[in-house]
Structure 1
Amino acid sequence: MRVTRERPAGAARQASSAGRTSGFKRIATGLLMVTFLSGCAVGPDYQTPNMSVPGSWKNADSSTPASVPKLAYWWTKLGDSQLDHLIAQAIESNLDVRTAKAKIRAARASYKQSNASLFPSLDGSAAVTRAKTATSASGNVNTVWNGGFDAGWELDLFGANRRSREAAQYGLDAAEEELRSTMLTLIGDVATNYVQARGFQQRLALAQRTANSQGETAKLTRNRFQAGSSSGVDVANAEGQASSTLANIPTLKTALAASVHRLGVLTGQEPTALTSQLAASKRIPRPRLPLPAGVPANVLLARPDVRLAERQLAQSTAAIGQAEAARYPSVSLTGAIATSATDLGDIGKNSSISWSFGPSLSVPLFNAGKLAAAVELAEAQRDQSFLAYRASVLGALEDVENALVGFTQERRRLAALSKSADSYREASKLSQSLYKTGAVSFLDVLDTDRSTYSAEDTLIQSQVLLTTYYISLHKALGGGWNGDVNADKPEVVDENTGPRLAKAISG
C-alpha cells in the first residue's frame, strides 16, 4: 500500500500560511513517531553465556604454578634467535594468515554494507531526448531535457537492518579472532617443527657417531679373527650391529627433511627454501622453569578460538532478530523531484518542477509459514553455535590439562632417562676394559654398546617431547603474537579498472 502526494508542474500555490503550519506539525509529529518506533527491535538481545570452569588446574605442580603467565611472545623464552626469526617470517608471509587477513577485509566490507542500509539512499538522473511526433504537421523536431532525484529510506521499525548491522559487527569480530587463532596455530606449528628438526639433527649426529664407532669395532674384530684371536660369531655380531645403526640414518634424514620442508611452507616459501639455512646442527631449545599456567578462567579470555566461537554465537543470535523482523510490517519513505523542459535554460524553473513524497507500507499477509520457519532455522543455528562455544571451552580446558600432565610427567621421564644414559655410558666403558682383560665376552660389549645408543637416542627424543609439551601448553593457554598485524593490504592490486573500451573475450 502506498500513499503519495503530488504537485504537478505549473500548478499555482494555493496553500495558506495556516495550512503550511498545520502540515509542518503533522510532519513533525510523524517524524517523532518514526523516531520512537525506530527504537523498537524484535528477537533476543545477545548476552555472553556464563560458563562454569574449575578454579584451578588439576595437573599443575610446583613447576607450573597458578601465577599469571606471560603469554605474549612466549617462544622467545626458549632463547633461540633463529626460531624467533622464523616465527616473525611466518606471521608476515604464511598463506593461511594472509587468507585470514582477506577475511577481515571481507567482514569489514559486509559491515559497511549493513550499516549503509540504515541511511537514506539518493539517486540522480538526467536525460535529453530529440523526437519528431507523427502528428506534427510541420515536421518539427522537439528536444526535451529531463533531470531529477529519487530518494528512499526504510524506517526499520522493528530493527531488521539494525540486527543485520549487529550481526555484521559480530562477524567482523569473529574474523579478527580467526586471524588470531590462525596465528596461534601457526606459531605452535613453526616452533614444533623447528624443535623436531633440531631433535632429528641431534639423533642423526648420534647415529653417525655410533655407526662410525661400531664400524671401527667391526673392522678390529675382523682383523683379530684373521689373526686367530676372535671368532667368526664375534665378527658377524659386530658387523650386524654396525649395519643396524647405519640403517637408522636414512630414516632420520627423511624425517629431518620433512620438518625443514614444512617450515619452508609455513613461512610462505617453497619447501626447500630453508634447507641451507637450517643445515648446521644446533641444540634443542629447552624451556625454563617455573612455567606459570594461570587459572582456567583465563582461557576464556586468552584463547582466540574460544573468543571466535563466542562471537559466532553472538552473530547467530542477531540473525534470529533479522528473521523475526521479516514477519512484521515494513515502512519506507520515498520521494522524487523531477524537472522537464524543452529549453535547457528552463531546467530548474518552478514551472518545470514536479515532486512526489509519501510512505509505503508492506505487510506480510500469507507465506505458508515460510517466515516462521526462517525464525526456527535461525534459532536452531543459534543453538548449534551455543553448543560449539561450549565445546570450544571444554576443548580448551582439555588441551591445557593434557599439556600440563604431559609436561610434568615428561620432566620426570627426562630426569630418569638422563640417569639411564649416564649409567649405560659408564657400563660401556667398563665392558670395554673388562673385555680387554678377558673378564667379559665380546657379546657383552656389543650389548652394552647397543643399550648405550638406545638410551642416548631415547634421551634426545624426550628432550624434544618436553619442549613440544611446553609449546602445546602455551598454545592451549592462548599465547601468541601480540604485535600489530596489518590486514588492510590487498593481495592482488588491480590496475586500469576505470572506464575503458572492453576487450574481446577470446574463446
Structure 2
Amino acid sequence: MALMLCGALGACSVGPDYEKPPLAVPAKWSNNAGATTAKPAEFGQWWKRLNDPTLNNIVEQAASGNLDVASAKARIREARATYDQAVGGLFPSVSGTSSATRGKSGGAGSSGSVSNTLRAGLDASWEVDLFGANRRTVEAARYGLDAAEEDLRATLVTLVGDIATNYIDVRSYQARLALARRTAATQSETAALTRAQFNAGAASGVDLANATGQVATTEAGIPTLEASLAQSMHRLGVLTGQAPTALSALLRKGGAVPAPRLPLPVGVPADVLLSRPDVRLAERQLAQATARIGAAEADRYPAISLTGSVSTSGVRLGDLAKNSSISWSFGPSLSVPVFNAGQLQAAVEAAQAQRDQQFLNLRATVLTALEEVENAVVALAQERVRHEKLAQSVASYRESARLARTLFESGSTSFIEVLDAERSLYSAEDSLIQSRVNITTQYIALNKALGGGWNGAVNAGKPEIVDRMGPRPAAFLRGDGKN
C-alpha cells in the first residue's frame, strides 16, 4: 500500500521530520543582581570597548591568519562540496562512450579481409527517490554545512577570547615588572641608607643584612615575570598564525592594562540559544543526525532505477547517423530487500542512537553555556568588590611605608618596621594589579560565555593550496618532491 501510495504521489519520505526541540532555560540570570528588566546583551566586537588599538590590530591579524580558523574554513568548503555531491544524486547521470576497432577476419595463412568498426553511444541511469533516501541525504548534508559554518563562528569566539586574554596577560606582566623594578629601586635606596648608618654605627649588621636580602628577594621575582611575559607574547604570535616572536617588537612598547566599561548588559538566558555558536552547532548536528535516520530507514524499502542507452555503429563515420545503425534500450529495475539478517534495521537503530547522543549533547551544551555565564557574572561582580578593598589596602600600606621610612631615617624606629611596611606595600600593590587584570579577564570570560566574538566578513571560499588540475605531461616524481 505504501508503495502504491508513493507511486501515485510521485515520491514520499520515511523517517522522522526534524523539529527544533524545546529547551527549558531560566527566565533571568540568578547572579545578575541588577535591574529587574535586563537590557539586551552586547555581543558585537566587544573587545573594542576596551579602547586599545593594539589589541584591535592583533585581533584583526588573528582573524585572517589563525590556523584553527583556516582549518574551520576548509571544513566549510568540504561541507559545501559534500552538499553539492548529495544534490547531484537527485538527478540522472549520463555518460558517453565511443570506440574504434580495426580487425582482420579469415583463417591462418589466408589473405582475409580487414574491416573497421566504429561505435558511439550514450548511457543514462536515474534512481527514483521513491522513499526519500537521497532527499534525506541532501537534508543531512545541508545541516552539515550549517554546522560547519557554526563551527567557524565558535572557533572565532574562542580565538578572540584567547587573543584578548593573552594580551591582558602581557600588559599584566609588564605592569608587575614595572612595579617590581620600582620597588627594588626604592628598597635599594633603603639598603644604601642602612649601609651608611651601619658605617656610622647607627644601624646593626642585622638591619643591613635584612635590607640587602629584601632587595635580592624582590629582584629574584623579575626573571620569572620576564619569562611569563615572553611566553604570553609568543602565544599571541602563534595565535595570529605567525612566528612566536612576530609581535614582540609591537608589544615591547608597553601599555596600560585595558579596563572595560561596566556594567555589561547580559540580556536573558534565552539569548544563549541564539548567540552562542557552540549551541547552534549542537542544534544543527542534531538536525543532521535526525535526517540520517530517514536515509537509513529508506534503505529498508524497495528501490527503483531507470536505465537507458542509445548506441550506433558502422564501418564508416557517416554510417553512425543512419537509422539502420542506431539501437536503443530502456527499462526500469526494482530492488527489494528480502533478507539481510536484520542489518538494515540495525542501521536505523544505530542512527536513532546517534540522534539521541546529539540531543543529549545539545542539552549539555546549553547547560554548560548557562553555567559559564552565571560563573562569569558572579566572578566579575565579586572581583570588583575585591578590587575596591585592595585599593584601600594599598593606600593604607603606602602611608604606613612612608611613615616608617621617615621615622627610621630620624632614628625613631627600627628597620624591622620599615622592612615589614615595604614588603606589605609591594604585596598589596602587586595584588591590586592582578585584581585589575582579573576584572578585565572576567569581562572577557563573560563575553565569551555570552557568545560574543568576530562578526565581520570571513572569506571561506579561498583554498589554502591551489592545485594544478587538468591534463599535462606526466613527470617522474623526483626525490625532492617536485614534479
Residues 42, 264 of structure 2: 8 Å contact kept: no
Q: Report the CA distance shift for 1:64/1:232 in structure 2 as closer, same or farther (over 3 A).
A: farther
Amino acid at match of 1:382: R
1:392 matches 2:365: yes
**1:462 correspondence with 2:413:** no
- Equivalent residue in structure 2 for 1:133, among 105, 119, 122: 105
Aligned-partner Cα distance in 2 for 1:274–1:201:
15
- 2:251 is matched with 278
Residue equivalent to 1:8 = none
Letter in structure 1 aligned against 2:51: G
Cα separation, 1, equivalents of 2:380 and 2:328: 77
* Structural RMSD (CA): 1.8
1:64 and 1:203 map into 2 onto residues whose CA distance is 40
Alpha-carbon deviation of 1:64?
11
Q: Secondary structure at the match of 1:132?
A: strand
Q: Does 1:221 align with 2:194?
A: yes
Q: Distance in 2 between matches of 1:65 and 1:257?
A: 45
Specify every segment of 5 or more residues in structure 1 that has no aligned partner in the other structure, as ranges. 1-31
2:364 aligned partner, one-letter code? A
Q: TM-score, structure 2 length as denominator?
A: 0.96
Q: Which of 446, 467, 475 is residue 494 of structure 1 equivalent to?
A: 467
Equivalent in 17, 25, 28 of residue 53 of structure 1: 25
Which amino acid is the alignment partner of residue 383 of structure 1? D
Instruction: For 1:100-499, list aligned pairs within 5 A.
Output: 100-134=72-106, 139-495=112-468, 497-499=469-471
1:84 and 2:56 correspond:
yes
C-alpha displacement of 1:152: 0.6
Query: Structure 2: how far apart are the matches of 1:267 and 1:64?
Result: 41
Residues 350-375 of structure 1, C-alpha deviations (whole Å, 9 max, x = no match): 11110000001111111111111111
Structure 1 contact 300–306 (Cα < 8 Å) conserved: yes
The code of the aligned residue for 2:98 comes to: A
**Cα shift readout 1:172-231 (whole Å, capped 9, x = no counterpart):** 000000000000000000000001110110000000110111112112211211111100
Deviation of 1:500 after TM superposition, in Å, equals 2.3
- Secondary structure of 2:466's match? coil
For residues 76 and 131 of structure 1, the distance between their equivalents in structure 2, rounded to whole angstroms, comes to 79
Identity percentage over the alignment? 59
Opposite residue 418 of structure 2, the aligned amino acid is V
Structure 2: state its 5+ residue gaps: none
In the alignment, what sits opposite 2:34? Answer: 62
- Find the aligned partners of 1:57 and 1:177 in 2 and give their Cα distance: 25
Runs of 4+ in 1 over 4 A off after TM superposition: 32-35, 135-138
Alignment-derived partner of residue 22 in structure 1 = none
- Per-residue CA distance 1:268-316 (angstroms, 9 max, x = gap): 1010111111002211000112210100000000000000001011111
Q: What is the aligned counterpart of 2:14 among 30, 36, 42?
A: 42
- SS state at 1:335 partner: strand
* Partner amino acid, structure 2, of 1:259: S
Paired residues, what number? 476
Are the aligned partners of 2:304 and 2:332 in contact in 1 as well (CA < 8 Å)?
yes
Q: Tell me how far apart the structure 2 counterparts of residues 348 and 327 of structure 1 sit (CA, whole Å).
A: 44
Residues 63 and 290, structure 1, Cα contact 8 Å, conserved in 2: no
Which TM-score applies when normalising by structure 1?
Answer: 0.91
Say which of 34, 41, 46 aligns to 1:74.
46
